[in-house]
Amino acid sequence: MKYGGSVKGFRRTWFFGVLVVLWGLLTIFLTCLAILLTAPFRGGVRAFFSIGPLWARQMLSICGVSLEVQGWDELPEEIRTGRQPVIFMSNHQSNLDPPVLIATIPVPAVYISKKELKWMPFVGWAAQLAGVIFIDRGNREKAVQEIHRAALEIKGGKNVVIFPEGTRTRTGELGPFKKGGFALAQKAGVPIVPLATVGGFEVLPVGHLRLKPGSYCIRFGAPVDAAAYEQRDELIAEVRHRVEALL
């Protein structure tokens, strides 16, 4: 008990906070480097999704954050085995959500990101190997073409994770959902799997770099057939309702 208490106390010190931030930056670099060096032998996607999840898991462990997954085993088998591509739609509680979801979702699932990330040393290079879909948000015509290409990639078997709020919450409450991800789901003709991240707002508060001890829970909900909804607003309302229920 004394040992556990001393560890908890140390995690609350400013010194531990500085160490964790420096360790996080160092291990991001080392993780990306390992992916880049392994990719020629294992392939980019396999290298990324076998090595990438380790970063979030070791950071959570060091900082005393437990990770729990609920509902995955209840999804249809074709989704769990990766035979049916889907769009995972999640609330967005903290900047830690993206790496935690990479570490949590058992099948490879990529993000749609702004094109600037593509050229970021190491991180952007690793993201390219993973198959991240890059969008030029500053060029509307080009963005439309890239969304069409993204729909074809999803139809072809690529799973995608989207935060329909667009950005992380500043209050802890679920924000309004934007339409872009739902238009993509209807264009691709794939199911939407609603999910909720619970605990991220407390583990990594807004404006903080340091993780606090706590719990992180990822909850998967039943898939929604996007093709069954003619009205996009009805589809948005249904997915939002399911995410709220998971929270």
Mean pLDDT throughout 46-50? 96
How confident is the model over 114-163, as pLDDT tens digits? 888 888 999 999 999 999 998 887 777 777 788 888 899 999 999 999 99
Helix (H/G/I), strand (E/B), else coil: 144: helix
How confident is the model over 180-193, as pLDDT tens digits? 899 999 999 999 99
113/162 Cα distance (integer angstroms): 10
How confident is the model over 91-121, as pLDDT tens digits? 999 999 999 999 999 999 999 888 888 889 9
93/198 Cα distance (integer angstroms): 8
> Which two structure tokens, joined as six digits, stand for 59?
């950071």
227/244 Cα distance (integer angstroms): 22
DSSP letter string, 35-54: HHHHHHHH-HHHHHHHHTHH
State residue 3's pLDDT score: 42
How confident is the model over 219-241, as pLDDT tens digits? 999 999 998 998 999 999 999 99
Mean pLDDT throughout 43-53? 96
**Domains along the sequence of the chain with CATH:** 2-246 (3.40.1130.10)
192/216 Cα distance (integer angstroms): 22
Measure the CA angle with vertex 68, ends 67 and 72; round to 5°. Answer: 135
Confidence grade of residue 1 (pLDDT, cut at 50, 70, 90): very low
Q: How many CA atoms lie within 13 A of 76 on its CB side?
A: 14
* Other beta carbons within 10 Å of 72: 17
What's the Cα-to-Cα distance from 170 to each of 54, 165, 174, 244, rounded to whole Å? Answer: 28, 11, 9, 17
Confidence grade of residue 5 (pLDDT, cut at 50, 70, 90): low
* Other beta carbons within 10 Å of 137: 13
How confident is the model over 52-82, as pLDDT tens digits? 999 999 999 999 999 999 999 999 999 999 9
Q: Are 100 and 56 in contact (CB under 8 A)?
A: yes
State residue 91's pLDDT score: 96
Alpha helices by DSSP H, listed for the chain, are 2-11, 14-42, 44-51, 53-62, 77-80, 97-104, 123-130, 140-155, 180-188, 200-203, 232-246
133-135/87-90 β-pairing: unpaired
222/246 Cα distance (integer angstroms): 10
What's the Cα-to-Cα distance from 41 to each of 11, 36, 44, 45, 184, rounded to whole Å? Answer: 39, 10, 9, 11, 33
How confident is the model over 194-216, as pLDDT tens digits? 999 999 999 998 888 888 899 99
57/32 Cα distance (integer angstroms): 15
Q: How many CA atoms lie within 13 A of 203 on its CB side?
A: 26
Confidence grade of residue 165 (pLDDT, cut at 50, 70, 90): very high
What distance separates the 2 farthest-apart alpha carbons in the chain?
62
